[in-house]
Amino acid sequence: MYWPFQNCGEAMSKIVKRTLEFFELFAEHKRPLSLSEISKLLEIPVSSCHDVLQTLLELGYIYELGPRGGFYPTLKLDNLASQIAENDPIIIRAEILLRDLRDEFDESVSLAKVTDATATYLLVFEPSHALRFLVRVGDRTRALHATSAGKAILGSLDPERREKLYRTMKLEPLTDRTITSMDELRRNIEQGSERGWYLNREESVPSATTVSARFIWNRTNFVVTVAGPTFRMEPKLDQVVERLLETCRALEMPGVQRRSSPEENTRRAKRA
């Protein structure tokens, strides 16, 4: 049976695809492009290319630099994207992914939003164990030199701001494993930044291990932390780090999310 709306849908999909290809082309070439260049690069007829350009011109998404000066996008698309990003339900997305992370390893998992040299916890998921690493929603991160979240905050700062902060920090020992040398702290932060995650192995609380990673959303740094007793964390640290980084990538790039394994689904079902 022939459905007249089928061709309409296909035509609309082609229009949307072609329009997005225009913007991707400008992003790729980073300069104004003429009608003939766009037509050639996208391998579409000049007439079709002209129609799309005229529509984008009328709607204010591109402008013409002048006679034979080529076309280039205006900031309208960027402004719309910023408004969308500012109202993104990051907490809703993070809640789903962080709960999955907690269920998989049955350890404390938290999300903190970074503001300059501090961060505030927005989400905290506790494990089923009585022995746990306790932070509460609304708490501020502490001891930048001794916690994995604090180290992640230091790693988020630009080098000049970080060095200025180093000069004012007091590296007070919280345990016998706390870093108390500024040179050692610098090396530790550099190492964490290079590998993408930060470790606190009994540096802030005896017998507790925490690992943190950062992601950026809407120009803001967030820190995800997995924490637990060392005797539980140490044997699975590699797996925790791998999943922590996957979670941060998924939060930074919505839609690129890892599918849960049957084993993880079983564990979640048991906790429900």
For residue range 197-211, list pLDDT tens digits in order.
999 999 999 999 999
Q: What average pLDDT does the segment 171-199 reach?
A: 97
Measure the CA angle with vertex 98, ends 245 and 248; round to 5°.
25
160 half-sphere exposure, CB direction, 13 A CA radius: 0
270 pLDDT exceeds 50? no
The pTM of the whole model exceeds 0.85: no
The model's confidence at residue 66, banded by pLDDT at 50, 70 and 90, is confident
The model's confidence at residue 263, banded by pLDDT at 50, 70 and 90, is very low
Asked if the domains 4-83 and 89-271 are classified in one and the same CATH topology, the answer is no
Q: Output the six-digit token pair for 238.
A: 């590699």
**Was domain 4-83 assigned CATH 1.10.10.10?**
yes
Phi, psi of 217 (to 5 degrees): -140, 130
Q: Where are the domains of the chain?
A: 4-83, 89-271
The model's confidence at residue 73, banded by pLDDT at 50, 70 and 90, is very high
The model's confidence at residue 68, banded by pLDDT at 50, 70 and 90, is confident
Across-strand partners of 72?
A: 63
Contact 156, 214 (CB under 8 A): yes
- pLDDT (0 to 100) of residue 71: 95
84 pLDDT exceeds 50? yes
- pLDDT (0 to 100) of residue 7: 61
266 pLDDT exceeds 90? no
Contacts of residue 179, Cβ cutoff 8 Å, sequence gap at least 6: 145, 146, 171, 185, 188, 203
* Class of domain 89-271 as given by CATH: alpha beta
Query: How do the residues of the chain divide into helix, strand and coil, expressed in percent and rounded to 5?
Result: 50, 20, 30
Q: What average pLDDT does the segment 117-135 reach?
A: 87
Q: What is the pLDDT of residues 19-43, one digit of tens each?
A: 899 999 999 999 999 999 999 999 9
